[in-house]
A and B are shown apart, each in its own frame.
Chain A
Amino acid sequence: GAVVSQHPSRVICKSGTSVKIECRSLDFQATTMFWYRQFPKQSLMLMATSNEGSKATYEQGVEKDKFLINHASLTLSTLTVTSAHPEDSSFYICSARPVQETQYFGPGTRLLVL
């Protein structure tokens, strides 16, 4: 149980385009999902907390107009990187929180902006 999926697993796009990443909890409902970014050999950096039915909460320094988050249902949150630039290239990971305190992570999405 507690499986989280992400799609796509890898995406390459041109600078200036927008990219949408989906995060799904497959066998549980998650009122809260989290989006992280991870650069090579670095730890997870929390970007935002996604709340079902309400606006996401962004961490300091994360541009909410650039990283659009939608948590439309109890099993789906999406992260859209708008007008992506090469510096946005990173590994994006979501996690979902069931009613317990733990978080379960998705497999990650590798974004490369050319």
Chain B
Amino acid sequence: QKEVEQDPGPLSVPEGAIVSLNCTYSNSAFQYFMWYRQYSRKGPELLMYTYSSGNKEDGRFTAQVDKSSKYISLFIRDSQPSDSATYLCASGSGSARQLTFGSGTQLTVLP
């Protein structure tokens, strides 16, 4: 079992829809959680960073972490065609230098 599981999709939604992207993790030591966005042929771009449980909002993006269920979510409101990309979740712990990445979910927002 991978330490971070992510549905690869692909996920296709109409413009303006609310998108929900999810990951689960198995390592109880994970304390911080990130979402990256990767456009085709580009390096991943850090979108959201959350420490421990809770919600974090930044514009149209909301990240949620539920440590009790080991569940990580990213919500995108009023989705735009420019949001079409692959979204990667990642988790890490203070003792580990490297992050553990999910496999990525490919999202397409149709105009």
Is B71 an interface position by the 8 A CB rule? Answer: no
- Give chain B residues whose Cβ lies under 8 Å from the Cβ of A46: 98
Is B75 an interface position by the 8 A CB rule? Answer: no
Interface residue total, chain A, C-beta cutoff 8 A: 24
Is A54 an interface position by the 8 A CB rule? Answer: no
Residues B98 and A101 in contact, CB atoms below 8 Å apart = no
Is B21 an interface position by the 8 A CB rule? Answer: no
Residues B98 and A110 in contact, CB atoms below 8 Å apart = no
Is A90 an interface position by the 8 A CB rule? Answer: no
Residues B41 and A43 in contact, CB atoms below 8 Å apart = no
Interface residue total, chain B, C-beta cutoff 8 A: 23
Residues B43 and A93 in contact, CB atoms below 8 Å apart = yes
Residues B97 and A49 in contact, CB atoms below 8 Å apart = yes
Is A91 an interface position by the 8 A CB rule? Answer: yes
Is B18 an interface position by the 8 A CB rule? Answer: no
Residues B99 and A103 in contact, CB atoms below 8 Å apart = yes
Q: A32-B97, A102-B49, A103-B34 are in contact. List 17 more A-B contacts (CB 8 A).
A: A4-B43, A6-B43, A34-B98, A42-B103, A43-B104, A44-B88, A93-B43, A95-B43, A95-B44, A97-B97, A101-B92, A101-B94, A102-B46, A103-B90, A105-B43, A107-B42, A110-B41
Q: List 15 A-B contacts (CB under 8 A).
A: A2-B46, A4-B43, A43-B88, A44-B88, A49-B98, A93-B43, A93-B44, A95-B43, A102-B46, A102-B49, A103-B46, A103-B90, A105-B44, A105-B46, A106-B43
